[in-house]
Amino acid sequence: MAIAAESWYVRLPDGRTVRARSAEVVRSYLRAGRIPWESRVRRVGQDEWLPLEHVAEFAPQAAREPSLPEPSAAELRTIGVRAMIDELFNAFDSAVQRGKLQAAAAVGILFAAGWIAFGLVGDLSLGAWTVPAYLGIALFLLAVLAVGTVLLTRMTFIELDRHRPARAAEIRHRIAGLSFRVLLAQGVIVGVIVGIVWLLRAASPWISTHDLGELNDARNVLLSVVAVVRLVLEVLCWPMLALAVLLLGPLLVIEEYSILGSLREWFGMLRRHLGRIYLYEALALTIAAVLALPLVLVVGVAAQTLGDSPGIAERVTVSLLAGIAMTPLIAYLIVANVFVYLNLRYEFFVSARA
């Protein structure tokens, strides 16, 4: 599915830029009148835009020669932000299917159960068991996310790869092993990032408790440096944490990489496509938030009627309803990242509305 070496970019007179998989595709559209002769082109890997008539492959006589049948629309695609939005809307069509929404609803309910458990641990006096209890709940939430990621990713990829809904046996195949690997890979990234942030947050209070006498001025400078570094790293780390949770799933489920292999590929994708990934994820998060907002607002309005001290039954109910309200957000973010991954890795496009 990788894009061919002879691929071309075409800049249309209206300012749009499209990508064609071969010179034959461009010539076919020229003969059909779907690419104006006023357009400019450049080969992938080159920087200079040239008029069509100045390129031997697209001279008027070459475009009039008989060639392959007219290609499908999938062979000429708009690029840039417009193309990203189009792909993310295709992901929306895929995400709002009954089976995926049911899986996402289950994930949301289990997340709500974990949130309730966090609150109960805070209300109870568990002494030395408090920290292990929090860690156990966090592990449970990561496991739920891992299973949900495997289910939704596999369902989406099978649909795109085989052009039919995924069967139950295909979805369940090796689900335990894949979920365990996703859990470990995501856990490694989460543990490293959270550990770095925690250490930096703890460093300032620890340094400030030491009286260094004549070196106190240097200590104050060090505190300022640590504070600046902490702020910069937190701004960088939290988006990386979200990207790890979202993009590691397709690497492990679609490619079936080992844990170390998936982490290596994940870092490589960030290095090569960081700008595109950031823009993709920002757009996907915006769409997901819009999908979930009406349900979340309804739950929020209902929760306001409970007063300042709701009972345990009311709190549990509101939490479960909030988890269900997050169903479209969970389903869309996981499904959209399958599309994002396939696009980044293979320059793969699909039109679910065709």
* Interval 1-26: pLDDT, tens: 344 446 788 877 766 677 787 888 88
Tokens of 316: 């549990």
80: which DSSP letter?
S
Backbone angles phi, psi at 19, to 5 degrees: -120, 130
Tokens of 86: 């189009």
Which tens digits make up the pLDDT trace of 56-83? Answer: 878 765 445 444 444 444 455 555 556 6
Tell me the sheet residues that pair with 51: 40
Alpha-carbon distance 218 to 215, whole Å?
5
Indicate whether this model's pTM tops 0.75.
no
**Per-residue model confidence (pLDDT) at position 254:** 87
Place of tokens 């003969």: 31
Single-letter amino acid code for the residue at 69: P
Alpha-carbon distance 322 to 161, whole Å?
34
**Per-residue model confidence (pLDDT) at position 327:** 93
Tokens of 166: 């995924």
Alpha-carbon distance 79 to 231, whole Å?
35
**Per-residue model confidence (pLDDT) at position 310:** 73
Q: Are 155 and 94 in contact (CB under 8 A)?
A: no
**Per-residue model confidence (pLDDT) at position 77:** 55
**Per-residue model confidence (pLDDT) at position 79:** 55
**Per-residue model confidence (pLDDT) at position 313:** 84
Of residues 46, 50, 10, the one with CA closest to residue 30: 10
96: which DSSP letter?
T
Q: Are 78 and 21 in contact (CB under 8 A)?
A: no
Q: Could you tell me the residue ranges of all domains in the chain?
A: 8-79, 83-346
**Per-residue model confidence (pLDDT) at position 204:** 80
Alpha-carbon distance 190 to 5, whole Å?
38
Please compute Rg for the chain using Cα positions. Answer: 26
Single-letter amino acid code for the residue at 149: T
Ranges of residues in the chain with a pLDDT under 50 are 1-5, 62-63, 65-74, 348-354
**Per-residue model confidence (pLDDT) at position 5:** 47
Alpha-carbon distance 271 to 321, whole Å?
39
**Per-residue model confidence (pLDDT) at position 302:** 86
74: which DSSP letter?
G
